[in-house]
Chains A and B, each alone.
Chain A
Amino acid sequence: MKWNDFFKKRLWYNNSSLVQLLGLCPVLAMTTNVVNSIGLGIATTFILTITNTIISMFKYIIPKNIRIPIFMLIVSSTVTCIEMILHAYQFNLYKSLGVFIPLIVTNCIVIGRAESIAYQSSILVSFFDGLLTGLGSTLAMFCMGSIREILGHGTFLFGINKIFNILENNYFFTILNRNEIMILAVSPPGGFLILGFLIAFKNFLDKRKNKKYECKKTL
């Protein structure tokens, strides 16, 4: 039951992008199509998991007064390593993510989780915390990316061959005609609008669930 709560809290009730509103810069900038948002989400999840585990391993060695510089050191070196690996083995994805991989260093989710969870909890807890927080962020980015891509480009999963090299490059779905698309959805103001609508929709779902729960209680 405790683990169930742990999962639900990180994936839905305390989602880092939709509730805590952390790390919005990549969320708004990279979600113009699904593949980019999944790619950045997976990279963020990897980095969160690795840094959380490392920091949790060294939590008795790191003194309290210089913990933030050491966190930054660990986070930035991990990000550099991931960037080089992506550059070497997933070149197409690296090209489309571009400047946003180094920017994960300044993503507030990573340093926030390191400070609040990894520095105080055991290795197992911080590993799963990193994994689930990253997955929650990826989920939010996936929703935003699919809405924006369908409305703005009329396609879905365009360029999926950048992630799965086995697929061919014409493997995507065309949903809307080229004349029916809304360019606003791909532009930055459209990103803010859609994020607002998503947050509102999530709150609506939560409120409805709460109401049902209360109704049951009173009956």
Chain B
Amino acid sequence: MKHFIKILKSSFIMSIFSILSLCVVEYINYITKNQITNQKEQEKQIFIQQVIPHDLYNTYKVKKYLVSNSLLGDAKKHSLWMLLKNETVKIAIVESTAPDGYSGSIYILVAAYLNGKIIGVRVLSHKETPGIGDKIDLSISNWITKFKNLSVKNVEDNHVLLKKYGGEIEQFTGATITPQAVTNAIKRTVIFIKKIPLIFSLER
């Protein structure tokens, strides 16, 4: 009986502490919830502004979708922004992944016209070796801006490839796996963008 009372007392104290800490966490969550969603939206806006010039972006109407496709690197849901003018889709902005980076996946954001012409590309996050593989980041070098105005015709197109494999993109010294992964991911994403009218008309 003495044991029983002891157990009861302990569990009572434990539950009081759990309820107290839950209340505090819930209260802080209630305060910061709006601010956090705001920050996330702002972050996405900043990324979109980086891949597509602001004055171009403002003339279009924006619709947001979630898509999953094997061309985008993995099976997760990716955000897709479609920019419309006169009820027809002109530009698509897609979040994509390069799953074959040197250390882990590289997340990129690609904006392109539906005919396959690239407007802009940025790396969202990566874990490449600092000093060697991180030149894909805009804050280190301007390599990623060289994709601007390139266009992809089909899967066998040799323009969007590293110079080592007969393409037009310069690699940087010390790393070939990272730029190759990024280039391939951009190529696949642009092919996906070219397929968008097909995919969406099939769904309807």
Contact = CB atoms under 8 A, between A and B. Distances in A.
B130 A84 contact: no
A77 B25 contact: yes
Contact of B130 (A70, A80, A89, A186): A186
B63 to A, nearest CB: 26
A87 interface: yes
Contacts of A91: 39, 43
A32 B127 CA distance: 13
A111 B13 CA distance: 20
A70 B14 contact: yes
Interface string A83-99: 01101110100000000
B88 interface: no
Contacts of A61: 13
Contacts of A84: 28-29, 32, 36
A87 to B, nearest CB: 5
Contact of A183 (B10, B18, B32, B129): B129
B35 interface: yes
Contact of B36 (A62, A87, A152, A187): A87
Contacts of B76: none
A71 to B, nearest CB: 10
B172 interface: no
A85 B32 contact: yes
B68 interface: no
B130 A32 contact: yes
Contacts of A186: 130-131
B17 A70 contact: yes
B24 A65 contact: no
A76 B21 CA distance: 9
- A-side binding surface: helix, strand, loop or mixed? helix
B24 A81 contact: yes
Nearest to A71: B17
Contact of B32 (A66, A69, A88): A88
Contacts of B66: none
A167 interface: no
Given A32-B130, A66-B14, A74 B21 contact: yes
B10 A65 contact: yes
B13 to A, nearest CB: 6
B39 A80 contact: no
B9 A181 contact: no
A77 B10 contact: no
Interface string B26-65: 0011011001100100010000000000000000000000
A118 to B, nearest CB: 15
A183 B21 contact: no
A5 B13 CA distance: 37
B17 A181 contact: no
B35 A73 contact: no
A62 B13 contact: yes
Given A63-B13, A77-B24, A88-B36, 19 more contacts: A63-B10, A66-B13, A69-B14, A70-B13, A70-B17, A73-B18, A76-B21, A77-B21, A77-B22, A81-B24, A87-B32, A88-B39, A89-B32, A89-B35, A153-B130, A153-B131, A183-B131, A186-B130, A186-B131
Contacts of B22: 77
A137 to B, nearest CB: 24
A15 to B, nearest CB: 28
B21 to A, nearest CB: 4
25 contacts: A32-B130, A61-B13, A63-B10, A66-B10, A69-B14, A70-B13, A73-B21, A76-B21, A77-B21, A77-B25, A80-B25, A84-B28, A84-B29, A84-B32, A87-B36, A88-B31, A88-B32, A88-B35, A88-B36, A88-B39, A89-B35, A91-B43, A152-B131, A183-B129, A187-B130
